[in-house]
Structure 1
Amino acid sequence: MASIDIRRPHSLSQSEAHAVIDKVAARMREKFEVKTQWLDGTLAFERPGISGKIAIGGDEIRVSAQLGMLFSPLKGMIEQEIRRKLDEHFA
């Protein structure tokens, strides 16, 4: 099982960062059939083969995920896409 742990600084307010993550989560649900749920300041997401969290800190966004056997070989590509989306929304 492969894991992903990416941290990205941000300068948005909590509510602005929350709104951005909500937008990203809606796209994840639509495109990848991911189930999401907010628990305090953390968005948990899950689908067969992938589970993880997007945590909003005061000055940092942290994405962590566990990839099952099917997705482990795609770890590099998945990390690249996460980094691209974080740059797009939090640069």
Structure 2
Amino acid sequence: MPDIHIERQHTLGIARARQVARKWVRQAEQEFGLDCVYTEGEERDVVTFTRAGIDGTVEVTAQTLTFDATLGFLFSSFSEMIEQKISRNLDALLGPAEGGNRFA
């Protein structure tokens, strides 16, 4: 079970959702030092990411972006702060209308 689970509904379709996800990957690599691998599929894409103390996935579909992360011992005490930062980043990338349609 992941330590952080964030799910956002959107109406972007798969092509635009991929653009958002790829932009998130670039930001995550630069800002958090994550090593990301983007795998495109027919109906869903999966981003796997890792670095010392954190690993997880972002699943991208035509209707949702789902972020799941497992934190190591040192990062676990910061899980709420990390979750808030990731949520803000995803909401900013999805835009006000898309980010507003969310559930966790």
Q: Structure 2 length as normaliser, TM-score?
A: 0.80
Give the equivalent residue in structure 1 for 2:60: 56
Q: Say yes or no: does 1:18 pair with 2:22.
A: no
In the TM superposition, structure 1's runs of 4+ consecutive aligned residues that sit over 4 Å from their partners are: none
Q: Structure 1 length as normaliser, TM-score?
A: 0.91
Q: Say yes or no: does 1:77 pair with 2:76.
A: no
Q: Say yes or no: does 1:46 pair with 2:39.
A: no
Moved more, 44-53 or 21-30: 21-30
The Cα of 1:33 is off from its aligned counterpart by 1.6
The Cα of 1:39 is off from its aligned counterpart by 2.5
The Cα of 1:58 is off from its aligned counterpart by 2.4
The counterpart of 2:71, out of the listed 57, 64, 67, is: 67
Letter aligned with residue 68 of structure 1:
G
For the residue of structure 2 that corresponds to 1:23, the secondary structure is: helix
Map of 1:20-39 to 2, 5 A cutoff? 20-39=20-39
* Deviations, residues 38-75 of structure 1 (Å, cap 9, x unaligned): 12301111000000111012211100000000100000
Q: CA RMSD in A?
A: 1.6
Rounded to whole Å, the distance in 2 between the matches of 1:27 and 1:64 is 17
**Count of matched residue pairs:** 91
Unaligned 5+ segments in structure 2 are 100-104
Q: How much identity, in percent, do the aligned residues show?
A: 31
Q: Tell me if the contact between 2:13 and 2:61 (Cα under 8 Å) persists in the aligned partners.
A: no
Unaligned 5+ segments in structure 1 are none
Give the equivalent residue in structure 1 for 2:102: none
